[in-house]
Amino acid sequence: MTRIATIRAVLSGAALALAGLGTHAQAPGPDRVALNGFAIDRHEVTIFQFTEFARATGLTTAAEREGGGHVWGQGWERRAGWSFRRPFGAAADSTQWPAVHVSWNEARAYCAWAGGRLPTRAEWTSAAYTEQRGGAQAGFTRGRTYPYPTGDTASGANTNGTDRWPRLAAAGTTRPGVNGLYDMGANAWEWLADRRGEDALTAGGSWWYGEDQMRAESMQWKPASFYAVYVGLRCVYDAQR
C-alpha cells in the first residue's frame, strides 16, 4: 500500500496502524521545538498546511461532506459551508489561522502525512507548562511548571477576554509561551492521541472560552468524530535515534 493510500485508509477507519508513514522527526527548524525525546510544532497546524495535506491526499473532510461544521448556539448547530477552508463560512482572514472543523481521525492522518503523530496527554502537558530550554528564555525559568501555557497569567492568549482577536488568531501573532510555543493555551482546542472509547482528549481551550480552560486540569473529552470551529491540532515528531 502506498503512503497516500495508507493515510486514506486511516481516514476511512480501515486501518489503525500508521506503520510506513514516516514517523521520525526531521531536524527541528523554526517551525518545531525540540524537547525531551520529541519535537513539537511551534504553532497550531494552519489552514495553509492542512490545505496542502488535503490536496496531496484527496481528502474531503467530514465537515465538507456532511454539510458544514459546528458552532455552539442553542446546543451544537451545523453551519452550511463552514469547514477548515472557510471556518466561518466566508474566506478566512488569513490562511495562517489554525485549521479547525477537523475530526480526530483527520488530525491523526494529517500528522502521519507530516511525518509525525498526535501528542499524548503527557507530552502535551510537559510541552505546554514546563519550561525545558536552557537558561532564562523570555522570562521563563528552566524546570519550572507554570499554571498557564503563557506563564503565570493568561496574558497574551486569544481567549474570550479583552484582546485584539475577535475570533481566531493567525500563527505567530499571540504571545509566545512556555518553550517558545504559540497558542498551547486558547485560540483552538487541540486533539491529543489519548482515547476513551469513542471519545478523544482535547487540550488548551479556545478563542470562545476564558482563561480557565487553558489550565491542565481543564482538558475535555469530545467524540472523536466531532468537528467544530473551536477544535484544531498540532503534531509531535519522534526524536531520531
Per-residue model confidence as pLDDT tens digits over 64-113 = 999 999 999 889 999 999 999 999 999 999 999 999 999 999 999 999 99
In Å, what is the CA distance from 23 to each residue of 114, 115, 192? Answer: 8, 5, 16
Looking at every residue in the chain, the average pLDDT score rounds to: 89
> Between 109 and 5, where is the model more confident?
109
In Å, what is the CA distance from 185 to each residue of 33, 103, 144, 171? Answer: 16, 19, 17, 13
CB of 233 within 8 A of CB of 99?
yes
CA distance 56 to 46: 16
Domains of the chain by residue range = 3-11+33-238
pTM for the complete prediction?
0.88
CB of 20 within 8 A of CB of 3?
yes
Question: What are the helix and strand counts (H, E) for the chain?
Answer: 5, 9
Compute how many other C-beta atoms are within 10 angstroms of the C-beta atom of residue 205.
Answer: 32
CB of 163 within 8 A of CB of 157?
yes
Give the residue from 195, 139, 182, 100 showing the smallest Cα distance to 131: 139
Per-residue model confidence as pLDDT tens digits over 105-160 = 999 999 999 999 999 999 999 999 999 998 777 889 999 999 999 999 999 999 99
Give the CATH fold of the 3-11+33-238 domain: paralog of FGE (formylglycine-generating enzyme) (3.90.1580)
What residues contact residue 190 under an 8 Å CB cut-off, 6+ apart?
Answer: 44, 124, 184, 202, 203, 204, 231, 232, 233, 234
pLDDT band at 6 (very low <50, low <70, confident <90, very high): very low
